[in-house]
Amino acid sequence: MLNALALLLLCQLTGEITSQVFAIPIPGPVIGMVLLLIIMYFVADVAGTLRETSNVILRNLSLLFVPAGVGVMLHVSRVADEWLAILVSLVLGTVLTLVVTALTIRFAMRLFKPRRAGHR
């Protein structure tokens, strides 16, 4: 479990460093996830090793939202002043995310769809 956690953190750190050094406008954790995906593609054992650790993290994911909740409570007056902008951005962001995700899945399904013999 410690090795898997170290790998996750190392990928995130590498992504952060890459993002900062090359001034890439992509968040470091996203670059780290792509790096982890590449590692998982080429090293067969990694997915199995990460499975248990990932499940533990996911089971306790709600604890990671506590600092964000505390931050919101510290700025509750600002949230009250700007509630409409926050609501609109949340709704539009959610809808946009759903649309982009659906289109991405649709594209990936077409791209990776197994072809039948004799059909092009």
10 Å Cβ neighbour count for 11?
21
Confidence at residue 118, expressed as pLDDT on a 0 to 100 scale: 57
Q: Is the pTM of this model over 0.75?
A: no
The pLDDT > 90 percentage for the chain reads: 62
**Half-sphere exposure at residue 49, Cβ-oriented, CA atoms within 13 angstroms:** 15
The answer, yes or no, to whether residue 114 has pLDDT greater than 90, is no
Q: Give the C-alpha separation, 41 to 119, whole Å.
A: 29
Instruction: Render pLDDT for 38-97 as a digit per residue (tens, 0 to 9).
Output: 999 898 888 888 999 999 999 998 888 888 888 888 889 998 999 999 999 999 999 999
DSSP state of 18: H
**What is the rounded CA–CA span in Å between residue 40 and residue 58?**
19
pLDDT exceeds 90 at position 31: yes
